[in-house]
Structure 1
Amino acid sequence: MHQYCKEPISIEEFFQIRENSEALLEYIDGFVYMSPSPSTKHQRVSNRLESNFRAYLQGKPCELFHAPYDIELKSQDIQGTKIVIPDISIICDKSGFTDARYVGVPELIIEILSPSNQSHDLITKLNLYMNYGVNEYWIVNPMLNSVTVYTLNKEKMYEQYDMKTEIGFIKSKHFNGFSVDVANLFKD
């Protein structure tokens, strides 16, 4: 993930750039960030996570969205515009849907790391999602075959809820009874 523009721009300028670009672009406080194209392993992991979550969510009120889909994070307590494109979002509050994007805070967000976006997902987005109140944030690292699940505690800070590397079942705290076989998730 690298910065697309060196100087801050307006949200209107961002949407103009987006109209003329095929790149996956995110907007955080005036700065534009470009996501790398996903690798083969990234796509496989994403598809497996989606399949597991879709099966779990069947008949439940929440809905899964995958990249590229814009999430405009919105909170009464935070100023500025943040438009992110998580790899996977699970949304339960349907009131934020527009024709173009979701405006609000998803229940759960999953980001799958690539070599070039690690610090963006591990630091920038972790803090962003925590501050906006995303209940659960999964960081999936295909280079290490690991998954880390962060959940909000009573102080509205992220704490590590679960972490698995290579083997075991990674569990969700927010979605009771949901787990994924990590070995199966990362198989070639």
Structure 2
Amino acid sequence: MSSVEFEPSTVGMHRERMSYAEWQVLPEELRAEWANGWAVWPMSPPTYDHGRGQAKLAVLFDVAFPDLFVATESFLQLPGSRVRLPDVALVDHEPEGGTIVDPPVLVAEVISPSTQGHDYVTKSHEYATAGIGQYWILDPRQRRLEVFELVDGEWVSLLMLDDDTPGGTVTVGEYGSVEVDVRALMRRKTDVAE
């Protein structure tokens, strides 16, 4: 992932020009983000796999890092007039008023076909610019987890897990490490134990 300025990737996304004040009064269930005078939101609602991946990452972080705060569906204020809604954020203090204003320890996105370009290109650049330490990307369709760490303003791959390499350990800054198994993140209640 490079540090080039990207235009928002809007394939599968609804995009509408509006002021910050107009964006603030949009219905909450829209899950709209705001960037440089544009409100952006997915054209389709999150899938079951998306919600399950989000919940499992949140539980994983909550158990592994009990002194940190896990935020789901909390707005994240970014530099350059941007407000994003990461699927999961891990922060070192409880967000006030539901908006995270300081860079999180990490953010995680669960991608879907409609948000893939937005998560891999637009958000990755914005999260790097904000100085967020790690970016986790979970792809339920590919059964893949990628973990990136910010080094000198660029994302460096720390770990990629899939069915061929399902488990690994990620050190999250000064906060410790977490064991991750992509099979556990993807497992459904109806799956046979592996």
SS at match of 1:22: helix
The gaps in structure 1 that reach 5 residues or longer are none
What stretches of structure 2 of length at least 5 have no aligned partner?
1-11, 189-194
Paired residue for 1:37, among 34, 42, 45? 45
Aligned to 1:168: 166
- Partner Cα separation in structure 1 for residue 105 and residue 153 of structure 2: 14
Q: CA deviation at 1:173?
A: 2.9
SS class of match (1:33) = strand
Match of 1:14 in 2: 23
Asked if the contact 1:150/1:158 (under 8 Å) is kept, the reply is yes
Of 59, 70, 86, the residue aligned with 1:64 is 70
Q: Which runs of 4+ in 1 moved over 4 A?
A: none
The TM-score normalised by the length of structure 1 is 0.85
- Code of the aligned partner of 1:162: L
Over the residues paired in the alignment, what is the CA RMSD in angstroms?
1.7
Q: Is the 8 A contact 2:65 2:176 kept in 1?
A: no
How many pairs align?
Answer: 173
1-side partners of 2:169 and 2:38: how far apart? 34
Report the counterpart of residue 33 of structure 2 in structure 1. 26
Q: Supply the distance in 2 between the matched residues of 1:50 and 1:176 (Cα, whole angstroms).
A: 16
For 1:83 and 1:33, how far apart are their aligned partners in 2? 10
CA distance in 1, matches of 2:134, 2:126: 12
Q: Where does residue 177 of structure 2 map in the other structure?
A: 177
Q: Is the CA contact 1:135–1:152 (under 8 Å) kept in the aligned structure 2?
A: yes
SS at match of 1:99: coil
Per-residue CA deviation, residues 58-92 of structure 1 (Å, 9 max, x unaligned), is: 2x2x200012x11112xxxx4x3111110000011
Residue identity over aligned pairs, in percent, reads: 23
Residues 1:32 and 1:171: Cα distance change in structure 2 (over 3 Å): farther
Say if 1:89 and 1:108, in contact at 8 Å, map to a contact too: yes
Provide Cα deviations, 1:21-77, integer angstroms capped at 9, x if missing partner: 53110001111111342211112222221111111122x2x200012x11112xxxx
- 2:86–2:109 contact (8 Å) kept in structure 1: yes
